[in-house]
Structure 1
Amino acid sequence: MKKIAIALIAATALFAADSAYNYELTPTIGGVHPEGNLGTNEHATIGLRVGRNLENSLLDQVELGFNYSNNIKEFGVKGNAARYFVNVIKDFGLTNNFSLYGLVGAGWEDVSAKFVDNEDGGFGQYGLGLKYKVTDNFALRVEAVDAIKFEHGDHNLFYTLGFAVGFIEKSAPVVVAAPEKPIMPKVVNLDDDNDGVLNDVDKCPNTPAGVVVDETGCEKVIVLRDLGVNFAFDSYKITPKYLDEIKKVAEFMGENPSYRVVLEGHTDSTGAEAYNLKLSEKRANAVAKALENLGVSSSKITTVGYGEAKPVADNKTKEGRAENRRVEAKFNK
């Protein structure tokens, strides 16, 4: 008996069965095979057990039980016996439906006063059983228990079939939700003017729609003065010396075939205003002609002259006037 208890404890970590119900009611039927020296015959027995299913425990159930036999013969004398007991049970799950269980317990046997060799007294018991779960709250139990009397160490072997019914369903375990991590708002970097340059780097936040911009978000302008094509006084002719610079505008148009270019001509303030307006147009047209010769379609070129209206430097100095004689190339999508 001691060895069985030790074996049950050792196996606990490997095979644990659980029940979804707090209590179990089990009517039983079976038989009793007494030890020969008791002088009684093999007889039938019926019983009832009420078990309390345990949680977070080494053991799985504590049960109170009762067995009754009314057709016992002791040396030909008929009588009966009632046995009351308490067991502790450990389940070992084998499959989803089958489990093996072991039990140990103690009780009291109340026998007929007619009997001579069998008297009331206490007993200890141990046993093994097989449990088959038919549904969530109904199972069959087949069990063999050896009941040993304290007085003389006499044995009664009980073999029973039980019909276990679970009742009072266990509460679902409370799952403590992990604290949610605060959701940090995403920093959304917008492009309000839809020019392809985000607001945080856009230096010209209100660029008109369709205007080609540079990496800073400002209108892309190729100033031909910057490229070395600043015109001589009262001149709109482009010398071959500066043709390679204008090629850069043509190359940019070739890289972006959907773009259109606007050539804006400008002059210094020397001379009549009306004359300077015509001269600025001629300068823009001269650059347009050079671009056409470099393969840019005339349908993608627009020219306009502003004369002296948009200076970028001081017209009072020679250097300033030279900077103002220019053509600016601007682009539209």
Structure 2
Amino acid sequence: MEEQMLYYRIVRNLNLTKQLTLLTFLCFGSAQAAEQSHHLEHDKSQTLSTLPESYFYLGGEIGINYYQHGCESWSISCDKNSTMSGFFAGYQLNNNLALEAAYLDLGKAEATYLEASNKHIYQGSMTGINLSAVGSIDLTADLSLFAKAGLFNWYGENKGPFSTIKADDWSPSLGVGMSYQLSDSWQARLQYEYFHHLGDDNIGGSNAHTTSIGISYQFGRTRPVIITNTVTNTVTKIVMESAPIELEEVTFPVLFDFDSSKLISADSLQMIVNRLTKYPQATVLLRGYSDSQGSSDYNLALSKRRTDSITEYLVTQGVQQQQITVEYYGEQYPAVDNITEQHRHLNRRVQVLLPKTTIQPLKDHQ
């Protein structure tokens, strides 16, 4: 009689820790998927490459379970519903077929029976490995329908007030559902599964009906990469087409101290640097001079040192040597007479000339 009263197929409910673990996993996966999701823009001149057809995936699920024959008719109370959860892993063979293995905990249910004027509570639990083949068809680029069939290797326990009975065996399983591609590698799914005749004569038997939501991560699966339709054997360079640039003529002196070729200030040379580094076609002409004090040969060498000083500075700032032309004249061609010290200072100079230049646009051909 006691064994007959045990004839209900019930399964173990998740404890609080397991529920929190599964919910945390699902929330984390959804957050990651939302961060990665993006929309692909389509263009007539472009096509999408093919997704990888085979890859591994790993995920978790949580849902509710209902036992069709959970309790006997003479039970005082009976809870046939339970919370179920599981983890699954699979290998997608191609776009339409996958092989999957899942560890499932179908939850806990409870029934109360009156025995010898006493109320006794019986609890059952069942876990197991479900091996199945999954076939799918695509409805859209992200939405798919799937069906699955397999075998569930179950392990059950039936606990009463005086004893615990255990059993294990195989039962067939069927399922249907839909999946939605959240992002590059994350997929969500909603599914229903049916497990036929779980349990045996010792612990009781029942059919199980589960409805669950799940999320999985697909290893090695990426969104399509946009590629161009046109195949070319050569790389076409960018052709710059713009109007010619006119650089105006600029001239100014750079003054030096008596008997010195040291630059007093380089600020005035920045305009030269900017122009010549931006436009490699531009040039500069440096003409060196001195005052009339000292011998002509010495003054000629001094004027050369002054142009060399400016040349060295420009080169350190990135100006190319071939952009610079140098001339030096010593005390010849004074700007003013050499009678006063102020006049002689104005003659200790290098005259800078930035010629008027037309910069033609660069045109690179295929």
Q: TM-score range by the shorter chain?
A: 0.3 to 0.5
Normalized against structure 2, the TM-score is what? 0.38
Higher relative contact order (CA 8 A, sep 6+): 2
Select the structure of larger CA radius of gyration. 1
